[in-house]
Amino acid sequence: MNSSIDLLKAIRTGRLQDVREVLDAGAPVELHDGRGEPGLPLGVACFMGFADIVRELVSRGAKSNLPDNAQSTSPLSMAIRGRRTEVVKVLIEMGAVVPPGMKTGLTEQEMMIARWKGQHYASAAQVAEHGAESPVVEEIEMTRCYGTDTAVLDADMIRAARDMDKK
C-alpha cells in the first residue's frame, strides 16, 4: 500500500480517525502536488472543509502559512475557493496571514476574533512548550444556547482583540 495515497483517501472521506491512523503508520504530512508544490494533504482538507483534519495536519507539521498566501495552492486560498469560512477561521487562528485585499468570506469582526484566538492560544502553547506553568483560562461550555444573549461575550472578545492590536 502507498501511504501517501492512503492519506489522501483518508482526508477525502473526512474521517479524522482514519487520517490519524495513516499518519501514525508513517505517512508524510507534506506531499507534493502535480506541480511539485508541497502541502497537498492540507490543501485538500481545506478545500473540502474538514476543520478537524486541518488542525490535525498542522499539529503534525503541515504548514498553514506560506510566504504568499495569495498563491492559488496555499491552504488559505484553497479554503476560500471551497467557500469554507470555518476552515478560513481555523487557518487564521493557526497563524495564516491574510494578504491585503484578499476576500475571505469573513466579517471584520470574525477576522478580529480569529486573530485574537490565534495570538491567545499561540502564547499559551509557547508557555507550555517551554515548561513554564500554563495560564489559567476559564472555558465556558454551553450545550444549549437557545435564548442566550451572547452579545456581551462578543463585545468582550472584540474589546480584548482591539486591546491586543493597540499593544
CATH number at residue 54: 1.25.40.20
Both 50 and 126 in one domain: the answer is no
pLDDT at residue 31 above 80? yes
Does the CA dihedral 161-85-104-73 come out positive or negative? positive
| Boundary residue ending a domain (52, 87, 122) | 87
Both 136 and 165 in one domain: the answer is yes
Q: Which of 83-97, 105-119, 134-148, 150-164 has the highest mean pLDDT?
A: 83-97
The predicted structure's pLDDT at residue 154: 74
| Boundary residue ending a domain (53, 87, 121) | 87
Per-residue model confidence as pLDDT tens digits over 10-20: 999 999 999 99
Both 113 and 81 in one domain: the answer is no
Question: Domain for residue 100, yes or no?
Answer: no
> What residue numbers bound the domain in which 150 lies?
106-167
pLDDT at residue 57 above 50? yes
Both 29 and 62 in one domain: the answer is yes
User: 84-105 b/e with 16+ CB inside 10 Å = b?
Assistant: bbebbbbbbbbebbbeeeeebe
Total structural domains in the chain?
A: 2
- Count of C-beta atoms within a 10 Å radius of residue 131: 6
**Taking the complete model, does pTM exceed 0.85, yes or no?**
no
pLDDT at residue 144 above 80? no
pLDDT at residue 25 above 90? yes
DSSP for 41-74?
HHHHHHHHT-HHHHHHHHHTT--S--S-TTSTTS
Question: Domain for residue 97, yes or no?
Answer: no
Residue 88 and residue 161: Cα distance in Å, rounded? 18
pLDDT at residue 143 above 50? yes
Q: Which residues fall within 8 angstroms of residue 41, CB to CB, at 6 or more apart?
A: 7, 8, 11, 29, 30, 31, 57, 62
pLDDT at residue 8 above 80? yes
Residue 111 and residue 90: Cα distance in Å, rounded? 10
Both 76 and 139 in one domain: the answer is no
Both 116 and 81 in one domain: the answer is no
Question: Domain for residue 26, yes or no?
Answer: yes
Question: Domain for residue 123, yes or no?
Answer: yes
Both 69 and 12 in one domain: the answer is yes
| Boundary residue ending a domain (56, 87, 118) | 87
Distance of CA 4 to the CA centre of its chain: 22
pLDDT (mean) for 71-95: 93
What number of residues does the chain have? 167
Both 82 and 116 in one domain: the answer is no
**Grid cell listed for 82:** 471551497
